[in-house]
Amino acid sequence: MTWYGRDGQRIYYEDVGRGDAVVIMPGWGGSVIDLNRVQSGLVGGFRVIAVDLPGSGRSQPQPRHYASTYYLDDARILLSLLDELRVEVAHLVGFSDGGEEALLMAALQPARALSVLTWGAAGQIVASPEMLRGLAHLLDDPIDELKTLAAYLAESYGVDEARIMANSWAQALSAVIDAGGDISRSRAAGISCPALLITGTYDPFCPPSLVREMAEAIPRGTYLEAPGGGHDIHLSHSGWLASTIVNWLSDH
C-alpha cells in the first residue's frame, strides 16, 4: 500500500505503469477498486496513478466530517500529491466527485493538465430538497435512487461510520448549493486543455443539459452522452467507457 500525508489525513494511491501520467479518481465514498477495468485498460501505455479521495476508500480521515469547502480543499491536496510524485503534467480522469476534482484541478493549475475526462460531473451541484433529505438519511431511509449507494456504503464502511459520512456530506452539499452550487463552473473558461465530459441519459445528479453546459463553457470542451445510462456508467457501460477513455487519452 502507498500513502501520502500524515496520520489521520493520509491519502491512499496506487502508482503503476509507464508513460504519460493519468490520474484516476473514483466518486465520493468509492474506491480505486471500483475502476479496476478502466485502470487495466491503461497500464500498458500509461503511468496510472489511482487515488482514493480524502475520506473515501482507504484514504483518511474516516469517518470524515465534510466542510463546505471540501472540493477546493481536496483539489489542493491532490495537486500536492502530484508535487510529491514529481508529476509535472497529467491526464485527469474522474467519476462523480472524482470528476469534479479533475475539473477543478485543471482550472486551478491549467498547465498541469494534459487533458480532462469525466463522467457524472458537471462543475456545479443542482439537487432537489428531496435528494438532499435522502442523502442526509441515506443509511436509515434511502430513497429509491440512492438504495444502491446506501447498500454499498454500509458494506464498505459499516452502518455507523457510513451514517456519519452521509449526513456530513449532505450538509456540505446543502451549503454549496445555498452559495450558488459552483464547484468549477465559474472557472470553466480557465480550463485550457482538451476536456471530454460524459454523462448518462438518465443521470439524476448530472443530467445531460447541465453537463453539456459545462462542456460548452470550456474552450476545448466536448460533450458525450452514454445512451440509456444513469450515473454509474462505469458499471452499466463498462466496456464502452473503458474503450472511450483509452481512445481519448491515446489521442491527447
112, 142 contact by CB (below 8 A): no
Q: Is the peptide bond before 61 cis (omega within 30 degrees of 0)?
A: yes
pLDDT in tens, 214-228: 999 999 999 999 999
Phi/psi for 7 (5° steps) reads: -55, 135
| Percent of the chain topping pLDDT 90 | 88
The least confident of 6-10, 166-170, 178-182, 218-222 is: 6-10
- pLDDT at residue 1 in the model: 66
- pLDDT at residue 28 in the model: 96
Strands lying side by side in the sheet with 195-200: 2-4, 11-16, 47-51, 21-25, 90-95, 113-119, 195-200, 221-226
pLDDT in tens, 24-56: 999 999 999 999 989 988 988 999 999 999 999
- pLDDT at residue 131 in the model: 86
- pLDDT at residue 7 in the model: 80
Q: What does the alpha-carbon distance between residue 20 and residue 47 come to, in Å, rounded to a whole number?
A: 6
> How many CB atoms neighbour CB 186 within 10 A?
13
Q: What does the alpha-carbon distance between residue 36 and residue 23 come to, in Å, rounded to a whole number?
A: 13
114, 193 contact by CB (below 8 A): yes
> Given a cut of 70, is residue 2 above it in pLDDT?
yes
> Given a cut of 90, is residue 132 above it in pLDDT?
no
- pLDDT at residue 130 in the model: 87
Over residues 63-81, the mean pLDDT reads: 96
> Given a cut of 70, is residue 19 above it in pLDDT?
yes
Three cell numbers written together for 117? 475526462
- pLDDT at residue 174 in the model: 94
> Given a cut of 70, is residue 145 above it in pLDDT?
yes
Residue with grid cell 471500483, as numbered in its chain: 34
Mean residue pLDDT across the chain: 95
Report the amino acid identity of residue 100: E
Three cell numbers written together for 75? 483539489
User: pTM of the full predicted structure?
Assistant: 0.96
106, 91 contact by CB (below 8 A): no
Question: By C-alpha distance, which of 56, 77, 74 is closest to 165?
Answer: 56
> Given a cut of 70, is residue 113 above it in pLDDT?
yes
Q: What does the alpha-carbon distance between residue 97 and residue 121 come to, in Å, rounded to a whole number?
A: 7
Q: What does the alpha-carbon distance between residue 134 and residue 147 come to, in Å, rounded to a whole number?
A: 10
> Given a cut of 80, is residue 242 above it in pLDDT?
yes
Beta strands in the chain (DSSP E): 2-4, 11-16, 21-25, 47-51, 90-95, 113-119, 195-200, 221-226
Residue with grid cell 460531473, as numbered in its chain: 121
> Given a cut of 80, is residue 252 above it in pLDDT?
yes
Neighbouring C-alpha atoms within 13 Å toward the C-beta of 172: 19
